[in-house]
Amino acid sequence: MPELFSPALILLAGALLSALLRGSLRTAVLFIAPAATLWAIWQVPDGVAATITFLEYYQLEPVEGSPLRRLFATVFALMALGGVLYAFRQAKPYELSSALAYAAGAVGVCFAGDLITLFIYWELMALFSTVIVWCGGTPGARAAGIRYAILHLLGGVILKVGIEGVVVHTGSIDLQPMLAHNFDTWMVLIGILINVAAPPFSAWLADAYPESSPTGSVFLSAYTTKTAVLALILLFPGEQVLIWVGLYMIMYGIIYALLENDARRILAYSVVNQVGFMVCAVGIGTELALNGAAAHAFAHIIYKALLFMSAGVVIYRTGKHLCTDLGGLFRTMPITTVCGIIGALAISSFPLTSGFTTKTLISEAAVSEGLVAVYLVLTAASAGVFLHAGIKFPWFVFFQKDSGLRPKDAPWNMALAMIVFAALCIVIGVFPHTFYEFLPYPLEAYEPYKAGKVLFYLQLLLFSGLAFFVMLPLMKRTLTISLDTDWLWRRLFARAYALCQRLVETTTQALLARLKTSYAFMIRMVRTTYADASREADVELMPKSQPIATTALWIAVLLSGYVLAYYL
């Protein structure tokens, strides 16, 4: 029965087959595996559907269904299908196989009913997402992939330490809500926050994603951070510290995205910003807030993938990724431009787009709980998002000055994938109540399109746009490098290590030189003493040395006496 095994296994089988097959068979597997996974997801019933005995004591639960889990798994499967459509003619074969395995890890996390199963699929994601980063094929991609792997290995170790502590102290491996009140649960929370790109490790995302291939960054944008959001919803709903972590991520992402010149790094920092909204909602912890976190994660995967798709087409056609090298592309890339603008409007919460119908849930939850300061920060952040993603990205990439580039528009498969995702952004925005039916908690009384709310957001966004164009001379892109927290381990720690290495080498050389000098001095003293003793022996008429047999006899006598005295 399909409900007795995890839908992730279908994607894993597809990944293996696509790596072995070639030609039309491989293409068929690439499309069939995500489609079959999507069907299997909706065959999983609520509750635990399958168990496996582990170490004769623990019951693993690889398949546990719920509306929340199915919602995340659905968007992950849709993303795999749309990503394959976007990339199957341009991406490397092993990149697409890795992408399916990466998506399998995310779907596996969705249905994991215990901590051990969650950890296995968690590490599967880390492994194959690293391969996708390496598929960028440049020295920068290889270096970024190594840093990415090290950081996620660290996060996995921390998560594993926390899980083992929880199992030892509670005797349970069930995946259930907890609060960060001891060492074990703090380790679990920190391990998840590393994957969610929370400070001070947010920089791994902006370091690695832009170094991947134009198709690889589309897959990377969807899974790692959103599975971490799901894990937070399942394990730490209502954890107060997450409110402030989320607000920090929101403002951090806005500031760095405004400073960036690289088109994909703008979008990468925007991922951190948008995930911050979800983390903040999990910290609020009410049913409305958790609905907002889940809904916004769903919408975010779609419009963020759409933005990365448009940026990927630009890089694929022009070979350029800096805003200073782009501009005027709307003349020959109309489909890519329109789809990029729709994604930019959706991420900015523009009315009649998906972002408006999901992000306003989080703001409404903050108001309902009386968190006025949180609501004001979220409102200000919405204006900031419109500045860096809603206007800056499409303006500098597709408009501004004429760069003289006249590339062709997207290939048909890339264009079709972008059109489908753009349509989803609009459909969710126009028919929000149909989408709300799939959320984990009932949401019948909420109405997103109240006149006052729509007018407020329109005013907010339009004045943000006015501010952008008024300050356009200050927003002009330059060839700069933004220093982030990864400077600590990429530069400071490396320099500190090199300094310590030089100090150790210098100290070792000095000690060796000192030892050599002392050794030479001792040799000279021994030779001098031996020479003096030889001269004295020559002067004496008869030596006073005793035969060796006499010496051995006295030693035996003394030892025998000691042993006898000891026993008496």
Q: What are 239-260's pLDDT values in tens digits?
A: 999 999 999 999 998 888 888 8
- In tens, the pLDDT along 503-515 reads 888 888 888 888 8
Q: Which residues contact 64 (CB under 8 A, 6 or more apart)?
A: 47, 48, 49, 111, 112, 113, 175
pLDDT of 396 > 90? The answer is: no
User: Is 136 strand, coil or helix?
Assistant: coil
Whole-number pLDDT of residue 122: 95
pLDDT of 414 > 80? The answer is: yes
- In tens, the pLDDT along 206-236 reads 889 999 999 999 999 999 999 999 999 999 9
The residue type of 242 is: L
pLDDT of 180 > 60? The answer is: yes
Alpha-carbon distance of 340 to 308, in angstroms, equals 9
Alpha-carbon distance of 234 to 248, in angstroms, equals 22
Q: Which residue has the higher pLDDT, 178 or 519?
A: 178
Do residues 32 and 14 lie in contact, with contact meaning Cβ atoms separated by under 8 Å? yes
Do residues 92 and 44 lie in contact, with contact meaning Cβ atoms separated by under 8 Å? no
pLDDT of 556 > 70? The answer is: no
Whole-number pLDDT of residue 298: 96
- Residue 504 has which token pair? 């150790």
pLDDT bin (cut points 50, 70, 90) of residue 544 is very low
Alpha-carbon distance of 180 to 191, in angstroms, equals 12
Whole-number pLDDT of residue 386: 80
Alpha-carbon distance of 101 to 73, in angstroms, equals 14
pLDDT bin (cut points 50, 70, 90) of residue 420 is very high
Alpha-carbon distance of 111 to 117, in angstroms, equals 9
- Of the candidates 87, 33, 336, 107, the one whose C-alpha atom is nearest the C-alpha of residue 217 is 87
The residue type of 100 is: L
Do residues 77 and 103 lie in contact, with contact meaning Cβ atoms separated by under 8 Å? yes
Alpha-carbon distance of 85 to 66, in angstroms, equals 29
pLDDT of 489 > 90? The answer is: no
pLDDT of 477 > 70? The answer is: no
Q: Which residue has the higher pLDDT, 525 or 306?
A: 306
Alpha-carbon distance of 86 to 79, in angstroms, equals 10
- In tens, the pLDDT along 185-201 reads 999 999 999 999 998 88
Segment (H or E) for 526 = helix 493-539
**Mean pLDDT over each residue of the chain, to the nearest integer:** 87
Whole-number pLDDT of residue 551: 61
pLDDT bin (cut points 50, 70, 90) of residue 402 is confident
Class of residue 480 by CB neighbours under 10 A (exposed 0-12, middle 13-18, buried 19+): exposed
The residue type of 537 is: A
Alpha-carbon distance of 29 to 201, in angstroms, equals 36
- In tens, the pLDDT along 369-394 reads 888 999 999 988 888 888 777 788 88
Whole-number pLDDT of residue 464: 80
The mean pLDDT value for 334-348 works out to 93
Percentage of the chain modeled with pLDDT above 90: 53
- In tens, the pLDDT along 123-157 reads 999 999 999 999 998 999 999 999 999 999 999 99
Q: Is the dihedral of CA 342, 345, 350, 356 positive or negative?
A: positive
- Of the candidates 142, 169, 171, the one whose C-alpha atom is nearest the C-alpha of residue 55 is 171
pLDDT of 534 > 70? The answer is: no
Q: Where do runs of H (alpha helix) occur along 319-411?
A: 334-347, 354-368, 372-385, 393-398
pLDDT of 426 > 60? The answer is: yes
Q: Where do runs of H (alpha helix) occur along 196-240?
A: 203-208, 216-220, 224-235
Stated pTM of the model: 0.86
Whole-number pLDDT of residue 530: 63
* Preceding omega of 200 cis (within 30 degrees of 0): yes
The mean pLDDT value for 79-93 works out to 92
- Residue 219 has which token pair? 């897959």
